[in-house]
Structures are given as C-alpha cells and as structure tokens.
Amino acid sequence: MATAIIDDTSVLSSLESPPSQDFPDLDFCKSLPKIEPDFALEDPLVAMPPGKVDFNLRTFFPLFSKYTYNLVNSEWSVAYATKSVLRDFEADGVAYLELRTIPRAFEETGLTKENYVNTILSTIRAYPTDKMHTRLILSIDRQNTPEEALDTVELAIRHRDNEGIVVGVDLCGNPGAGDVRIFRNAFTKARENGLGITLHFAEIERQPIKDELDILLSFQPQRLGHAIHTDDRILREIRQRKLCIELCLSCNVYAKMLPSRHEGGRFQDHHFKYWWRTDCPVALGTDDVGVFLSELSNEHYLASTHFRINRFELWHLSYYSIDAIFADHGEKERLRSVLLAWGKANDLDGVDDDESVNEIIHQDEQN
C-alpha cells in the first residue's frame, strides 16, 4: 500500500525561531487545560534514562509484553500505578484524562480481571476531582482471542453505569500481530451498547492482513490512534467521517514510525502538519511518558514549535477535541467552561463564548 505523505514545508519552523508573545512557551503549555485521550495505565512503571530513548516497534512491544505488564500484577500495584498516573497528569495541567488498560488476571497473586478493573475504579473515585476528571477505557489486545475480546467488552458494559467512569473500548498491542477480523463481534457489541470505540490504526506500513484498515473502519470507531501509514482513499474516508485523530509526536519520532527519507523521521516530518489543518479533531497524547520522556505539555510545545501554532490555535486544539471524548454531555460542558474561562483569563483574543470561538475558526478557514 502506498503511503500518502503530505509535503508542506511552509508550516515548518526551526527550534531556534525567535520567541513571540503570540506563540506559546512551555509555561503556557503547562498551564493550558489539556485533554489526554488515551494513556496506558502501565506506563509510569517504565522510565528510560535521559539519552536512552532508542526504540522501534520491534523492540518496544516486547518490553511491555515481557516486563511492564507483569509489574501490574496485584491490587496494590494496580492502585499504585493508577494513582501515579492521576497525580502526574494533574500536575501537568490535564483537565480531562481517559485512561486505558488491558484487564488482566494473575493466578499467582489471586488478581482477577474483575478485581483489576474494580481497583482502578476505586482509585479513580477516591482521587480529588477539583482540577481533573478521569474516565476509563478497557483495551482489547490484538493477540487476544475472540472470547477474550468479548469478555473485555462485557466487563466494560457491566461497569459502564458505575458513576459513568468506564466509557469505551480500545484496540491496541503489537500492530504486526493478529487478524483483526476476529474482533468484529466484540466491537459490534460495544457499539450496540453505547460504548465509545477508539482504535490504534495504521501504525506500520505493512498490515498483517489485506484490507486491515477497511476492516477497522467498519468497526465504526469515533477515534483513531496514530493513523500514520494511510493511502489517499483511507485519508478521504477518515476526513469524510470527521474522525478524531489521536497523535503522539515523541512516540512516533523516537519509535521510528514515520515514513521519511530521514531514518525514523523527524518532528517536522510528522503527519500532525496535515491533520491539524483538516476539519478532523486532533487530540495530542503522550502514549508512553516514561519511555519517550515527554509530558503532555511538552507534546503541545513541540507541536507549536515545529508547526508554528500560535497561542489561540493551541488552545483551540484542546477546545475542538472536547466533542471527541467519550464522557457525557455534562462533562463536555464542564470542559468548555474550563477552557473558555482559561482563555479569557490569559487574554486570548476572541475567546468570549462558544459562538465567538466558532466565528474566529470560520474566518480562518475562509482565509
């Protein structure tokens, strides 16, 4: 499959560009109320020393499969990992977090999948909510059986009404493994029961089976993660549906996931430069903070620096992605209020109410 690469160097800039008061600094990015759409629970248990970020997809997934997942093998460690994630994201200025995890059972510790999920939910409920609200997505691993996938969906359905914390299901894992057709029934059941669907999508150039991307789109997801290796036809389909694209700059660069004449790709090669100019919502994420050493505020700063995104545009990335979260209407309204209040307090021109924001965006599109 030929990969569609949009070459628009006009939006690129050097890291050495002179500072401008209309462009955000790192403090602005830290303070900005941010939305993290898809963070793995197990991540805080991995921390690479500075200068040791040297991964590709071949070496990355064995790290998680062999070591990291096995560290979260008891109620205590699950609670510890969950609280660590909540604390770190709150400190980074995140206003809304969707945490994802693969439900796991460990016979040697007596941990069941039900206890695993209940422990996460209990930790989320006990955490203060004055600054950040958290929801949970249960993930299906690409190496799961159809029965395991259905078990995960049924677990999500059982807990969906538990204070509205469980909001969706995800497909993740090694993108070179498995046949995604076996998960059709699981995602159909999830959709029919009102769960949000997000899929890790087009992470590698050669998918394991023919027409994998079409099959995944037939699951009717609302969001796609990464969406790197797509041809023009798939791009058109995604844009027609206005699906939200979850993008992780540091992960894609350091894991050498980008199609580029430069080995592994550079930040300025990232397909963010294409997606953020479309009418698809874009949600910046971290994917794996500990492995790639980049907090969500830093991901926003990288996007601003490499693609010349000003303060209003960066604010609007968060604002526009609100409609793509899996929480209910009340939570979306809360986030709009938080972002509008923050925008006015930080003197962003035109940020008065939802109508004024949409008017500015409409004018920009016409220009």
In terms of C-beta density within 10 A (0-12 exposed, 13-18 middle, 19 or more buried), how is residue 277 classed? Answer: middle
Q: What is the DSSP string of 327-344?
A: S-HHHHHHHHHHHHHHHH
| Residue pair 172/102 in contact by the 8 Å Cβ criterion | yes
Q: Give every CB contact of residue 23 below 8 A, 6+ residues apart in sequence.
A: 304, 308, 309, 310, 311
Tell me the C-alpha distance between 270 and 167, whole Å.
29
| Residue pair 30/93 in contact by the 8 Å Cβ criterion | yes
Spatial CA neighbour of 184 closest among 227, 216, 223, 151: 216
The 10 Å Cβ neighbour count of residue 218 is 14
Catalytic (active-site) positions: 203
Task: Copy the structure tokens of residue 154.
Answer: 């049924």
Tell me the C-alpha distance between 50 and 291, whole Å.
10
Residue 18 DSSP symbol: P
